[in-house]
Structure 1
């Protein structure tokens, strides 16, 4: 009886943690860019229009279904770890701190590859109609779209956690750090605003990292720009939109012009 109650409590803690993490990241970004500072940063808005409220509500509803699915899978992985079935280890310095940080980097690289190819699979016509279309209802996404998946796609998305847990020796905190990084980049990709500096998308070094414009174009144009963190696979497989870098530059020009206009208005009011 006590064991059952403890397991139920642990399950609630995991679900609460995932929910709060989602709300903290998505809610804070949404409140800042779409409500509090919406006029100040309007020039950085990739699509110069706001999404309808009904789409935002759908993003939130779909996200909480995703959170439930994520919770079930993560709880299963935790259970497997407690029974010695995964590659989780203790103490944190068992393999040294260099390996600890290397393991987080390996998770990110593995996830980037996993995401690209599962994302391409989701664009296979039968799967797109069945599942991935739900995510693409957000043609002008907000941060809440980060977890706005059909249940089938939610299972695919969270599949990276057991893949990591069973293949990469790791401390539990390493997966936590990876998960926070993943959510942050996911939210940034769906932000709807471009925050990176001028020339970023075409810079010889930085062009290998994705931008908000890159993923926003995917939501609007569908058959391009499949990557998550990095731009390696899209460049290698030639799936970047041919006008990606030009579109990024245009967004930055609009952002800079917005700053100039805002400063001119402030001077005029003095």
Structure 2
């Protein structure tokens, strides 16, 4: 994060915002700057990537699904934008620790004992480490003692849009983002690669909420895509993973996506349209999703 802070200091904050008596390496100034930059960056990534996905990728036919709520997109955005500032507070504490040199982030490839191959290894280990951590954090958030307190708001969106990606309770959002921030305190990571992975994480988080179920057949069983995550929203106890299906398989929570079996949200919409039932405000007379009783949360 110090790369972003340095650019902001050089071109905006030092020339136009802070008085000369406030040194760039002052703790208070760094905390205030990080707070502003983190909130601004989160909003730009969320809204920018969300809008792009919404208009270019998201299938708007999903908005006809009986479980797509009235004014849902507006509600998702409102919830996310109210949560992001609160999520940023503990996040800034971690960014501040990075800036003060407590992490294992490094500037030059030569600083890595493995050189350029180390960058590839770091990227792979980052994905594997965070996927494992998020699986277990996500699963714990589904425990009956804490689910209603923190994670239930995210499951309000049974048929999510891209804007549901960040529509979390602040505690939920911070906990699921924590592995990304812990990694560079445990393992060496290039600063530029860290920023690139941070952007990728946001893109991926939006993509698994966008209803685009296309995944190469050879990767369907390994990649936790939008089809997998949509089933998590619909059926609750399955597909907790972030990128991969590995931990769901090991933890007994893997479910092959219903959308890839001809039993997904699009299939239900087509069925209801054919039966003339679309718009009745219910999924079926029995309260089922394609004949499968949905667990109440």
Assess if the C-alpha contact under 8 Å between 1:46 and 1:213 holds in 2: no
Judged with a 3 Å threshold, the aligned counterparts in structure 2 of structure 1 residues 78 and 152 are, in CA distance, closer, same or farther, namely: closer
Judged with a 3 Å threshold, the aligned counterparts in structure 2 of structure 1 residues 246 and 75 are, in CA distance, closer, same or farther, namely: closer
Assess if the C-alpha contact under 8 Å between 1:215 and 1:225 holds in 2: yes
Residue in 2 that maps onto 1:100: 119
Unaligned runs of 5+ in 2: 1-20, 271-297
Residue in 2 that maps onto 1:2: 22
Residue in 1 that maps onto 2:254: 240
Could you tell me the TM-score, scaled by structure 1's length? 0.79
Write out per-residue CA displacement over residues 174-225 of structure 1, whole angstroms, 9 at most, x where no aligned residue.
221211221112111111232224xx2xx4x541111211100110111111
Point out the structure with the larger helix share: 1
Assess if the C-alpha contact under 8 Å between 1:224 and 1:240 holds in 2: yes
Q: CA deviation at 1:251?
A: 6.2
The root-mean-square deviation of aligned C-alpha atoms, in Å, is 2.7
Judged with a 3 Å threshold, the aligned counterparts in structure 2 of structure 1 residues 115 and 47 are, in CA distance, closer, same or farther, namely: farther
Could you tell me the TM-score, scaled by structure 2's length? 0.72
Q: CA deviation at 1:141?
A: 0.5
Assess if the C-alpha contact under 8 Å between 1:46 and 1:251 holds in 2: no
Residue in 1 that maps onto 2:46: 22
Write out per-residue CA displacement over residues 61-108 of structure 1, whole angstroms, 9 at most, x where no aligned residue.
221233224433343223212322111122243111211222122111
Residue in 2 that maps onto 1:261: none
Assess if the C-alpha contact under 8 Å between 1:74 and 1:161 holds in 2: no
Q: CA deviation at 1:50?
A: 7.6
User: Matched residues in 2 for 1:234 and 1:48: separation?
Assistant: 27
Which of 202, 206, 212 does residue 183 from structure 1 map onto? 202
Equivalence map 1:89-238=2 (5 Å): 89-95=106-112, 96-197=115-216, 200=217, 203=218, 206-238=220-252
Assess if the C-alpha contact under 8 Å between 2:224 and 2:239 holds in 1: no
Judged with a 3 Å threshold, the aligned counterparts in structure 2 of structure 1 residues 9 and 250 are, in CA distance, closer, same or farther, namely: same
The structure whose RCO (Cα within 8 Å, separation 6+) is larger is 1
User: Matched residues in 1 for 2:34 and 2:225: separation?
Assistant: 36
Judged with a 3 Å threshold, the aligned counterparts in structure 2 of structure 1 residues 240 and 47 are, in CA distance, closer, same or farther, namely: farther
Q: CA deviation at 1:148?
A: 0.8
SS of alignment partner, residue 131 of structure 1: helix
The total of aligned residue pairs comes to 242
User: Matched residues in 1 for 2:224 and 2:171: separation?
Assistant: 25
Write out per-residue CA displacement over residues 116-160 of structure 1, whole angstroms, 9 at most, x where no aligned residue.
101110110021111110100001100011111112112212211
Unaligned runs of 5+ in 1: 259-270
